[in-house]
Structures are given as C-alpha cells and as structure tokens.
Structure 1
Amino acid sequence: MEGAVSSSVATRQETLVRGSAVDRIAVVTGGNKGIGFEVCRQLASSGVTVVLTARDETRGAEAVYKLTGLGLPDVIFHQLDVTDALSISRLAGFLKNRFGRLDILVNNAAIGAVELVDEPSFGRPQPTVEKFIDMDGHERVEWMWQNCRQTYAAAKQGLQTNFDGVKHITEALLPLLLSSSDGRIVNVTSGFGLLRFFRSDELKQELDVDNLDEERLDELLDAFLKDFEAGAVEARGWPAEFSAYKVAKAAMNASSRVMARRHPALRVNCADPGYVRTDMTRNSGLLAPEEGGATVVAVALLPERGPTGAFFDAGGGKETSFV
C-alpha cells in the first residue's frame, strides 16, 4: 500500500504545483491524525489548498491518500518536524518556490508533555471510548492525571514542541504570511493554557502581555524548567498538574498576542478545540475530532479584518478571556 500511496500523492502534488490557481494556501502542522487531520479535511472542503505536514512521511502520505479518497484532491503532503530546524527550512523553501506566499498557518502539532504510566506503544491497547462513557469531564481529566507522571525529560520535550516549535515554524513562515493579502495564524491552544491555573499573581501579570516580549517569555520558560528540575513548581506558583503542558500553552497564548501587536496586518489568534477524543487524551475526551476541528477552522476562516490577538473557546468558538 505504501508504494501506491506515495505514487498517487506524488502525482497529485506535481499537478497542483504546476498548474492550478488557488484562492488560499494553508499549512497545518501535525495534520496526519486527530484534530489536525480534521482541520485539513474541513479546510480542503472549504476550497483551501492544504499543505498537510507530519513528522512521519508514511503516515502523512497515507493521510493525504485518505483525504483524496474523500474527494478532496487539493491536499499536499510535506514532511515537518517542528523541533528540527532543517525540516522547518525545507518546508519554508518548498512553500516559497511553489506558491510564493502563505495565507493560513495552523500550528496544531503538540505533545502531552508527560509520560504515560500505561504506555500504549508498549503493546497495551488504547482505552476505548466506552471506558469513559459514565465519567464527566472532571473524572476523565482525573483519570488522565492518575495514568501519567511528570518527568523533567517529558517537560523539556513538551516546551520544545509546544512552544519553541510553534515559535520557530511561525518565524520561518512569517515572510510568506506577510506576502499574503490576508495572512492569518491560528495557534491551537487549550483551556489548560488559561492563566487561572497559575498560583502566582506575579506570573499571571507577566504572562498578561502588557510589557512582555519574546525574550522575556524565553526567560520565564527557562525559569520554569529550573524550578521543575528542583522540585519547586508548586512553591514558585506554576501550575501543579500537567505543568509543562499548561505553561507551554499559556506562553503560546502570550506569544500570539505579542505577535498580533507587532504585525497588525496579520490575524493572529488562539483556538481551543476543547477536550477531544485523540491519542493524546487516550480517547478520554468529550468531543469528537470533527467538533474540535470545526472550532479551529472557524477561526482560520474568520472574515477579513476580523479579530486578532484573541482567544476563541471550544464548541461555539466565541471570543473569550485568556484568564
């Protein structure tokens, strides 16, 4: 199957880059499964040409093949690891050479920033949806917490992917976004990134953007990792549970507002897809990937000159507070 997938995708990509005039070009990171796959599907269904990216080439190509089978041919695969500078550079070069611009960037790729106690990749089955059917949202989150552990290695990798990765891919593609007449960035965030999870008022004030810049954000994240390694997360006022994930998402939210202020010609927003049933949540989520993806796509397709520097919540996709 892999050969057939690669051949079909390659043929379609050649057709796209040689000939067709398209209205909008979008890049979706982590697009081969879950919310990212749904964002690709729904954007493509809206007539957007989508560059679906994934770390694994086989899985990415298979995702494009699946979308093509659904009658959505205007989807292109390109390999991307958001933690790899060379991989990011290759994607930027591809977009510049083929399209000369980028209209929509959806920063979706993320990891849980924890280690699972019962790791599915060790041969154990992923829990099914039925396991959680009698649990409410709080009980499901509690189950997740009881079945993971926080380690320094996982926390560091979480920040590298969920914050640094977003920052680096955005910086690399920024010239292409500014070449668009209506460039927009959607950073897929989480309710876990709200400032209410921080115990320190000083940290909340720092992350509330007024006097914040990227350099200070990097300093704050370095301080978090030092506190994490020293076992001082709670004492210093950082979130206690799912610490690295919450800190990375809060930092991404802050960075989004800094960028929105710096580049008023762009629409830079954060979209919370909600608690979605994915591999990351081990199927414990309350929402289907289609529902989570719909919120992200609604923000990606906001009217021209719409809001910027805003947070859109799950479900209805209404603009709300970062706190």
Structure 2
Amino acid sequence: MEGAISSGPNPRIAVVTGGNKGIGFEVCRQLASHGVAVVLTARDEPRGAEAVEKLRALGLAQVIFHQLDVTDTSSIATLFVFLKTRFGKLDILVNNAAIGGVEYLQELHANEEKFAGMDFDQMLEWMVKNVREPVDSAKKGVQTNYYGTKHVTEAVLPLLQSSSEGRIVNVSSLFGLLRLISNEEVRQELNDIDNLTEERLDELLDRFLREFEADALEARGWPMGCSAYKVAKAAMNAYSRLLSRRHPALRVNCVHPGYVKTGITMNSGVLTPEEGARNVVKVALAPEGGPTGKFFAEDEEASFV
C-alpha cells in the first residue's frame, strides 16, 4: 500500500519492523505525529495494511505499508529495493519485530483483571511459568530476534549512510542484560566489545542452541525461563555495540521500552504500548550528535550488564 509522502521537501524517513500492533504500531503513530514519513512493515500483509488505515483515519497520511518478513532474505531484499527506489535514503530504522521464542499456554492468555493486585515481579513470574520452551520455538526466537534484526540492518545500512545522521534503534529488554547469564566466560565475552566479533556471536548462539537441545542450559550457565528470548536479546545488544563502533557516523542504540502489555508478555505488564513506544521514539528522535552504542532502560541510559 503506497501513499504520498509530502511533509516538506525532504522529510525524515523511518522504517519500523513489526509495526502492525503493540509497541511497533505506537512507534509508527508517534513518529508520524512528529512529522516523520513512516514505512510500517509487517509480515502479514492484510494486518499491516489495516494498521496503516487506522493511522490514516487518525489524520496521519505520512504512513505507508510494505510487507517484510525479517526471517526471509528475499523479503528483506525487496524492502531495500523499494526504499532505495522510492526515497534513496533512510533516516531511522526501528528494529521492533520480535517473538517470544516460546510456546504460550493459550488458555492462560489473560486480560488485565487477571493481574489485579500483582506487582511487577509477580506478573513476570506468572508469565514465565505459563510458557513452554520447545527447541523449535527457541530456534525461531534466535532466528527472528537476533538474525532477523541483524539481516534487516545490514541490508539497509547503505541507505542509513546516505542520511545526514542515520539512526538505528533496536528494541531490547531487561531480559537481555548480561547479569542473567551465570556463565562468567560467556558473560565476559559478550561484554568485551574490543575483542568480540560477529563470527564469535554466531558461535555462541550455535552453542546455546546445542546446549538447549541437550537440556544442559542450567548446567552450562545459560539463563532459564524464556531462555532463547534472553540470549537473543543479549546477542542483539552486543551486535548493536559492535555496529556502533564499525559505523561511528550512525547513532546505534538499544532501548528497553519497559514491561509493556503486549502479546509477548501475555498482556501482563505495567505500561501501555503507548507508554513503551514513547521511550523508543525519544531515542529515535534524539538531537543530532547524541549517544551511540548505548542501552536505555525506559527513559534513562543504563548498563548492558
């Protein structure tokens, strides 16, 4: 679904992955409300097109849809060609598309009343207890949450470099903090950005999946409970730091939007998608010359550890 992009002679162009619902939809809405021309992407074309129509009904005409499956290299290539042909540049990439990497107990998906009286920790404990983690789901989680983010980013890098100040915002999580990995060797490697390489990241992820399949996660010091989500986000954080060093002209940052009520959290959480998206958009629209290679927990710069 293509529309006219007409907010000034040279509007900022943003791509948001996983933009048809939840945090991604709100990021699209808020960016468009700030005058940014937004390419809302989603794997499911009807749902993506419907999301754009909702935004246009709000008077946000500067939003268009393009199909994108972040795990499909041909889909990523098609998006790149579209962006290059249509705009010739990209100013903001928000890598929001993600999956839980788990199998949800569907009967336990809850509405807000379920969590009345629960605090943050109780809700989180409830969510982790009510998922299963089969190997296939873990593999899909790593493929989507780490490799999907990486492959989209690498594909559009030339367009970001054509911007006067390209920005990459990777939607992360407190689940990606290194303190959750008890294996000291792995934790130190992921934090040693001077010596870490993308090839080593691949090796560590392969090792994680092998040990997951061998039912050896706890024995080898990997995080338990939503394990694949935690490890993929930790790897994405490390990749973001490497990328910021490799391309110092770009602004590359990770944002934990907060514990948000979305499908991934089974509608548990303490923030609305609108509130979570606000934290992402703040980093995406930070003044020129701002920080790069950083982690923001909700509204403040924080440690990757």
TM-score grouping bracket, smaller chain normalisation: over 0.9
Q: Which residue of 2 aligns with 1:62?
A: 50
- Pick from 71, 95, 99: which aligns with 1:83? 71
Q: Which residue of 2 aligns with 1:184?
A: 167
Question: For residues 54 and 173 of structure 2, what CA distance do their matches in structure 1 show?
Answer: 27
Of the structure 1 ranges 91-100 and 231-240, higher mean CA displacement relative to structure 2 is found in 231-240
Q: Which residue of 2 aligns with 1:234?
A: 218
Question: For residues 194 and 35 of structure 2, what CA distance do their matches in structure 1 show?
Answer: 38
Q: Which residue of 2 aligns with 1:318?
A: 300
**Contact conserved, 2:12 with 2:36, CA < 8 A, in 1?**
yes
Q: Which residue of 1 aligns with 2:244?
A: 260
Matched residue SS, 2:60: coil
Alignment of 1:173-252 (within 5 A): 173-208=156-191, 209-252=193-236
5+ long unaligned stretches in structure 1: 1-8
- Pick from 144, 148, 155: which aligns with 2:127? 144
Q: CA-to-partner distance for each residue in 1:74-107, whole Å, 9 max, x for gaps?
A: 0010000000001000000000000000000000
Q: Which residue of 2 aligns with 1:40?
A: 28
Question: For residues 46 and 68 of structure 2, what CA distance do their matches in structure 1 show?
Answer: 12
- Pick from 55, 73, 98: which aligns with 2:86? 98
**Contact conserved, 2:101 with 2:140, CA < 8 A, in 1?**
yes
Matched residue SS, 2:292: coil
Cα drift, residue 20 of structure 1: 6.2
Question: For residues 23 and 75 of structure 1, what CA distance do their matches in structure 2 show?
Answer: 12
**Contact conserved, 2:181 with 2:221, CA < 8 A, in 1?**
yes
Cα drift, residue 130 of structure 1: 1.2
Matched residue SS, 2:206: helix
Question: For residues 263 and 171 of structure 1, what CA distance do their matches in structure 2 show?
Answer: 12
Asked whether 1:21 is paired with 2:21, we answer no
**Contact conserved, 1:137 with 1:286, CA < 8 A, in 2?**
yes
CA RMSD of aligned residues (A): 1.3
Matched residue SS, 1:166: helix
Asked whether 1:134 is paired with 2:122, we answer no
Given residue 139 of structure 1, which amino acid in structure 2 is its aligned partner?
Q
TM-score normalised according to structure 1 size? 0.92
- Pick from 132, 140, 143: which aligns with 1:160? 143
Matched residue SS, 1:271: strand
Cα drift, residue 224 of structure 1: 0.3
Cα drift, residue 277 of structure 1: 0.4
Between the aligned residues of both structures, percent identity stands at 65
Cα drift, residue 266 of structure 1: 0.2
**Contact conserved, 1:22 with 1:48, CA < 8 A, in 2?**
no
Given residue 92 of structure 2, which amino acid in structure 1 is its aligned partner?
I
Cα drift, residue 63 of structure 1: 0.4
Matched residue SS, 1:207: helix
Question: For residues 53 and 23 of structure 1, what CA distance do their matches in structure 2 show?
Answer: 18
Matched residue SS, 2:99: coil
Cα drift, residue 22 of structure 1: 3.6
- Pick from 268, 271, 282: which aligns with 1:287? 271
**Contact conserved, 2:108 with 2:130, CA < 8 A, in 1?**
no
**Contact conserved, 1:267 with 1:308, CA < 8 A, in 2?**
yes
Q: Which residue of 1 aligns with 2:37?
A: 49
**Contact conserved, 2:176 with 2:230, CA < 8 A, in 1?**
yes
TM-score normalised according to structure 2 size? 0.97
Matched residue SS, 1:284: coil
Q: CA-to-partner distance for each residue in 1:23-70, whole Å, 9 max, x for gaps?
A: 200000000000000000000000000000000110000100000011
Q: Which residue of 1 aligns with 2:288?
A: 304
Matched residue SS, 2:270: coil
5+ long unaligned stretches in structure 2: none
Of the structure 1 ranges 232-241 and 20-29, higher mean CA displacement relative to structure 2 is found in 20-29
Asked whether 1:71 is paired with 2:59, we answer yes
**Closer, same or farther: CA 125–246 of 1 in aligned 2, 3 Å:** closer
Given residue 304 of structure 1, which amino acid in structure 2 is its aligned partner?
E
Question: For residues 240 and 309 of structure 1, what CA distance do their matches in structure 2 show?
Answer: 27
